[in-house]
Chain A
Amino acid sequence: MEIPRHWRLKQQRYALVGEVCPHCDAKIFPPRDVCPECGGEAREAYNFSGKGEVYSFTRMGEGPAGFEEQAPYTVALVKLAEGPVVTAQLTDLGDTKVEIGMPVEMVTRRIRQDGDERGMIVYGYKFRPVMQG
């Protein structure tokens, strides 16, 4: 059980809240209070749109502890429309063949469950294919 950790991360997990740099306007995710582009202090919150495209992906045949029951699942590097890349699971794939460059959007899903059936259920961002049409 890591309740303080999950509480601390809920803005990022539920709403993809990052930061924007007041010096160079870089959009930052994950937030870290220091701009990775210019090194300046950056604490202003920024809401990402949740739109992006697949930079790379893999289908994991087995998961580490906490993820055994979800396996197999697909993990991707998603390049967000605002610039940063985020690591996340892909979901709602159905018969979609995942490809590099595929447009995706953020949704909130169950990420994992801590420990046994009484363990805490953690929700957070995953990405799904953008509906065409």
Chain B
Amino acid sequence: MSGGDMSDIVITGVGQVPVREHWDVSLRQLAARAILAAIHDAGEQKPQALYISNVLGSLLSRQANLGALLTCDCGMGGIEGTTIEAAGASGGAALRTAYLALRSGQVDCAMVVGVEKITDVVGPGVDKAIAETLDTDYEGMLGVTPTAMAALLMQRYMHEYECGHASFADHPLAASIHAVGNPNALYRKALSREEYEKSRPVCDPLNLHDIAAYADGAAALILTRSELVSKDFKSIPVRVSGSAVVTDRLSLHDRPDPLAFNAAGISISQACRQAGILPGDVDILELDDAFSIYPVLSVEAAGYAKRGEGTTWMKATVASGKPALASMGGMKARGNPLAAAGVYQAVEAVLQLRGEAGDCQVKGAKKALIQCLGSASATAAAHVLEITQKS
């Protein structure tokens, strides 16, 4: 197959393991379970290349070179396999890499697996490792963590727009309610507004329920070009109609306006332009909600809401359900397996578009926009996924 044609890139298989504290399961086992599930879901289609999103393997499991490890473990020895790392945006960045490989014509079937094994280490060592996604010399080495960065943003936001902590409740509450129907979610209990407002202070003004818990997870996708999908394929291919990765200055202190999540906004407009849609056209909007301030800044950056009106937009949108936010629990309730989070977003969107999302199903969903962020929008990956007609 020659490159340069504009055939569709489609997702034909998805797999995931429940997000948990999997004390008895290793990084390689987590990844293998998701990989095998995706291959099975795709009708035993085998990839020619494996793109792995992972941040903490070297730091917490002391394991690098996952490409060789995971391909051979899963009976795919010899194929291309490499790790893609962009902090919390790794999953989206790996999907983007698979998309480009297929577009180039060099690869006909690609797999993405996002895997993060958090619980090989317990306590402050985990926070230290995750802080390596910041500027180590000028942030991490001073005792600053991504949680503190989110708190600095929220404090400034509350100061500039004179709003209180309670106005950030809507996204986390919606996420918690949606996760009740998702068997792969870490927390399946709907939060009340009072529980949100009165949760334990962690990093002023962030409380416990402003923070998505880190946990172990793995999720996988199989992708190919539409003309290569077998006539016998039993499921419905989901088209990747827009794909973008954008970076910003790594540190908040280097940005002229830290509350402007520029990379988040630009990546959404690029992905939507490529798909030929407007951001408001989607039925499902899956934002990065690692911290409750992130989705607020993201919808302002993407133009859903004016600056300072993101929390108001969030309240109205949760009420209308159009688009559906965090439809299977988001990071807040599904859990945040850092590099795998963006791949879970894609898996969940595929299930929604196929109509296989069970109790979480958004009726008639045809278009989904998913976005994951590396640190506080230092890297942003956005993808538009759309249902195709079964051929």
Contacts and interface: CB of A to CB of B under 8 A. Distances in A.
A122 B202 CA distance: 26
Interface in A29-81: 30, 36, 55-68, 70, 73, 75-77
Q: Which of A62, A68, A75, A112: most chain B CB closer than 10 A? A: A75
Main secondary structure of the interface of A (DSSP, over half): strand
28 contacts: A36-B254, A56-B152, A56-B159, A56-B258, A58-B204, A58-B206, A59-B203, A59-B204, A61-B201, A64-B125, A64-B127, A64-B131, A65-B124, A65-B125, A65-B128, A66-B124, A66-B128, A67-B124, A70-B143, A75-B144, A86-B138, A87-B138, A87-B139, A87-B142, A87-B144, A87-B251, A89-B143, A111-B143
A36 B249 contact: yes
Given A60-B148, A86-B138, 16 more contacts: A12-B138, A56-B258, A60-B143, A60-B203, A62-B127, A62-B202, A64-B145, A65-B124, A67-B143, A70-B143, A85-B252, A85-B254, A87-B138, A87-B139, A100-B155, A124-B142
A104 B254 CA distance: 19
* From A5, A63, A68, A89, residue with most partner B Cβ within 10 Å: A63
Interface in A96-122: 100, 111-112, 122
A5 B205 CA distance: 33
Nearest to B204: A59
Nearest to B124: A65
Interface in B110-155: 123-125, 127-128, 131, 135, 137-145, 147-148, 151-153, 155
A88 interface: yes
Contacts of B253: 77, 84-87
A9 interface: yes
A75 B141 contact: no
Contacts of B140: 64
B128 A64 contact: yes
Nearest to B131: A64
B124 A56 contact: no
B155 A56 contact: yes
A5 B176 CA distance: 43
Interface in B87-111: none
A43 to B, nearest CB: 17
Given A30-B138, A61-B203, A64-B131, A77 B258 contact: yes
B165 interface: no
Contacts of B306: none
A114 B128 CA distance: 12
B143 A63 contact: yes
A57 B125 contact: no
A68 to B, nearest CB: 5
Interface string B243-269: 000000101111000100000000000
B152 A58 contact: yes
B137 to A, nearest CB: 6
A54 B159 CA distance: 12
A9 B204 CA distance: 30
Contacts of B251: 87
B15 to A, nearest CB: 33
B155 A64 contact: no
B193 interface: no
Task: Kindly name the residue among B123, B137, B159, B254 whose own CB sees the greatest number of chain A CB atoms within 10 A.
Answer: B254
Nearest to A68: B124
B156 interface: yes
A124 B144 CA distance: 14
Given A30-B137, A87-B138, A61 B143 contact: no
A95 B156 CA distance: 22
Contacts of B204: 58-59
A9 B137 contact: yes
A55 B70 CA distance: 45
A77 B128 contact: no
B337 to A, nearest CB: 19
B142 A75 contact: yes
Given A36-B249, A66-B128, A100 B143 contact: no
Pairs of residues from A and B, 9 with the lowest C-beta to C-beta distance, nearest first: A58-B151, A64-B127, A65-B128, A56-B156, A64-B128, A67-B143, A85-B253, A65-B124, A56-B152
